[in-house]
Amino acid sequence: MRDLYDTSVLFPEPIRLLLICKPAAYPPKVAETPELYQHLAADPRFELFHCDPTWLWEIEDDGKPLEIPVVPVPRELSYEEFLELSDRSQAISNRVSSFDLAFCRTLKPFPLGYMERLEELERAVKFVNSPQGIVTHLQPTYLPSIAPGLTPDLIVTRDVDAATDFIRQHQRVVAKKAKSCGGKGVFRIAASETGFVIDGLKIEQMIFRTASECLEFLFELDGDPFQFVRYLPLNHHGDKRVLVVDGETYGAYLRKGPAGSWIHNVSSGGSYQHTTISDREHEIIRRTAPHYRRLGVTTLGYDFLMDDDGQWTLSEINAGNIAGYSLLEELTGQPIYDRFADFLYQYAPKRTRSHCNDRKWQCLGGRVIPNFLDAPRLAEQS
């Protein structure tokens, strides 16, 4: 964590950073977001404010400047104080345009209408990850559209016949919900002589007589199309997570699930260790990260699994509320949070000397960008 120093000389105008999350969703052992709050609160370049996701429904779009309730975050923040940030009685109303940058740390699945609320805010403040861009990323067809040939064989469908043919072709597949996290929306389906077996983190092993019955059960869990991916036999070697911020790799670690588990997730009791990033993985990141930059999405978590040849192949790309900074800092001894804070400070539009609170924003190339100071640079990136 940074040492505090005189901000009046080095940073006369701290960045007003708005963080959005549900603190109660982060128990003490899941410390990623609380630690991020603590590091940024202690950094004198930032003035931190918290908004609970439920408060976004208090926004009134009546033609006047948008306002939301926020709680100022103290410089020294304990975990208990982090939980208390969502005390509505402590919140004060602020214009959305008074913030320089917003960062959504809300866990998926999002409440109905939540992303639309964030898109309303995006008219007045720049986001670390554009809500418009996240909505595009969450479409199950997005990954295959930007990474053809880079993943195991996959299809996106809700068609029972198409999914059945895919399962019969590969015998074992993984079915993924579009909007979930922590391994909760991932299911394995295996064809056997006696029927079709499905299992996952949140369901016990279940056996169905036909593929249709199995898929009907699966489709009842979510209304969107599922992504069906060929299951890789060398899955037991673990899941490699590579952290990428605005196209730059921060490092990688290998996750392994508890004994007997095919889901490799740290929050579900898995282990982790530091690992390296190969030239092949760097090339995959180089080819795909620009697509996210065009969406205005900067924080990515690439997941790689071992393929049949013993090479790491792209499994999925996570975007937005990415975890792993604290693990990487622990494993490497490097100041990962400080590096990330440096990025946030540079990414935030710098305020004009007129101290004008009413920002003018425009949409360009699918991205919402500010119409002041660094707009030309961002326009080039689009």
Mean pLDDT lowest among 91-100, 103-112, 223-232, 362-371: 362-371
pLDDT digits (tens, 9 = 90+) for 268-278: 566 889 999 99
Q: What average pLDDT does this structure show over 25-44?
A: 89
Give residue-wise pLDDT tens across range 168-223.
999 999 998 876 655 678 899 999 888 999 988 667 788 999 999 999 999 998 88
pLDDT at residue 235 greater than cutoff 60 = yes
What pLDDT score was predicted for residue 12?
Answer: 57
pLDDT classification of 62: cutoffs 50, 70, 90 = confident
SS3 per residue for the chain: CCCCCCHHHHCCCCEEEEEECCHHHCCCCCCHHHHHHHHHHHCCCEEEEEECHHHHHHCCCCCCCCEEEEEECCCCCCHHHHHHCCCHHHCEEEEHHHCCEEEECCCCCCCCCHHHHHHHHHCCCCECECHHHHHHHCCCCHHHHHCCCCCCCEEEECCHHHHHHHHHHHCEEEEECCCCCCCCCEEEEEEECCEEEEEECCEEEEEECCHHHHHHHHHCCCCCCEEEEECCHHHHHCEEEEEEECCEEEEEEEEECCCCCCCCCHHHCCEEEEECCCHHHHHHHHHHHHHHHHHCECEEEEEEEECCCCCEEEEEEEECCCCCHHHHHHHHCCCHHHHHHHHHHHHCCCCCCCCCCCCCEEEECCEEEECCCCHHHHHHHC
Q: What is the mean pLDDT of residues 89-102?
A: 96
Lowest mean pLDDT among 93-107, 154-168, 170-184, 244-258: 170-184
- pLDDT of residue 129 exceeding 80: yes
> What pLDDT score was predicted for residue 109?
82
Reported pTM: 0.84
Q: Which domains does the chain have, with CATH numbers?
A: 7-127+351-381 (3.40.50.20), 153-231 (3.30.1490.20), 234-332 (3.30.470.20)
pLDDT of residue 193: 80
Of 144-153, 349-358, 360-369, the poorest mean pLDDT is in 360-369
- Decide which of 4 and 360 is more confident: 4
The pLDDT of residue 213: 93
Determine which of 1-15, 77-91, 104-118, 127-141 has the lowest per-residue pLDDT on average.
Answer: 1-15
